[in-house]
Amino acid sequence: MLNFYKIVKENLNFNRFEYRETVCLEYTCPIDAEQIGIFSRNDYLVYVLSGKKTYKTVNAEWTLVPGQTLYLKKGAEIIHQYFDDEYCMLGFFISDELIKETYEEVRTQTVLRLNNSKEFMEFTAAKVQPSNYLEGFFHSMLNYFRGKDRPPDHILLLKLKELLMTLMNSDPMLASYFNNLASTGRPSLAHIMEKNFCFNLKLEDYAELTHRSLSTFKRDFQQHFNESPGKWLLKRRVHHAAHLIANSNLIFSQIALESGFEDLSHFSRAFKSIMGTSPSDYKKSVVIN
C-alpha cells in the first residue's frame, strides 16, 4: 500500500503548502490504476473539485463527486478511480498537534455540541455536510494555491484553524472526536489495529499509524494484546475471513484480499493453520450447519 501522507509531503511537483506536520495541497491524481491501497498517519480532509472517486475503509465506502467533502481518520483505505473526468481535489493532511491546539482554543471560547453515543470512536471516515462557510473556505484556499506567492505561516495557520473550527461547530461527532483526541496522547493502538488489520500493511506502517517507533509499537502491542503483532494479525485476519466465508458470497480470492492476505496460497495456509481446516472445507461445514 502507498504511504499517501509521505507522498504528498515529499513530492515537490504538487501545488502544496506545509505548516509543521500539516500539509495542504491542490492535487490532480497521477495514478492510472483503477484500484489502489493507501494509508496516512494524519487525518485528512478531501474536497472534490472535479471527477469522481470511491474511498473504502474497513466498515463502509463513500463515492465523492464535485462539491463533496470527506473527513478520513488516520489509517488505510482502498481507492477506486474513475476515468470519465480528471480527478482533482483539495487535500488537508492535519496533524494531531494542530487539532489539539485548535480544540483547546475553541473550547475556552464557546460551548461545543458533542455526540455522547461513542460513534466518534467507531467511524473511519465521515461525509461533511456542505455549508456556505466551507465553500467560502475552499474557494479562498484555491486563490492561494493558484496564486504566485505562498501565504505567510501565520496566515496559513489561521486558515487551517478556520477549517477545524468550522468542522467542530458544524458536526457534533467530529467535535467529540477532536475532544477525545485533545485529551489523549498518541493515537490508540487498539483502535488503529481493529480498524486497519484487514489491510496488507507492514509492521512499520502500523507503527507509523500509531505514531510510535517500531520497537515502541512492538512493546506497547505486546503489553496490550499479550501477543506479538504478527501472531495477532494472522489470527485476526483469519477470523475475519471465516466470518466472510460464512456470511457472504465472495469467492476465496476476494476474501483473501478483503482480509489482508498477499495471495490466495498464503491465505489458504494461514487459514488451515489457525482453523484446522481448509477454507473450502470450512465453507462446506458452515453450509451443512
What is the full DSSP assignment across 104-170? HHHHTTSPPP--TTSHHHH-SEEEEPP-HHHHHHHHHHHHHHTSSSPPPHHHHHHHHHHHHHHHHHH
Prediction pTM value: 0.91
Minimal CA–CA distance to 91: which of 72, 63, 65?
Answer: 72
Number of continuous H segments (helices) and E segments (strands) in the chain: 13, 11
Distance CA 76, CA 98 (A): 21
What pLDDT shows up at residue 288?
A: 60
Over the stretch 86-144, which tens digit does the pLDDT of each residue have?
A: 899 999 999 999 999 999 999 888 778 887 777 777 899 999 999 999 999 999 999 88
User: Dihedral, CA atoms, 145, 147, 149, 155, nearest 10 degrees?
Assistant: -60
Listing DSSP states for 232-257 in one string gives HHHHHHHHHHHHHHHH----HHHHHH
Domain layout of the chain by residue ranges: 2-182, 187-289
Which residue has 488537508 as its cell numbers? 92
| Four-way CATH pick for 187-289: 3.40.720.10, 3.90.1150.10, 1.10.10.60, 3.40.50.2000 | 1.10.10.60
Q: Which residues of the chain have pLDDT under 70?
A: 12-13, 30-31, 288-289
pLDDT of residue 113: 81
Rounded to 10 degrees, the C-alpha dihedral 25/153/175/113 comes to -130
User: Nearest CA to 177 among 100, 92, 98?
Assistant: 100
Distances (CA, A) of 59 to 56, 64, 77, 192, 196: 8, 17, 10, 13, 10
What letters, b where the CB count within 10 A reaches 16 and e where it falls short, cover 230-246? eebbbbbbbebbbebbe
> Strand 15-19 and strand 22-28: pairing?
antiparallel
If you ran DSSP here, which 8-state letter would residue 188 be given?
A: P
Output the CATH code of domain 2-182: 2.60.120.280
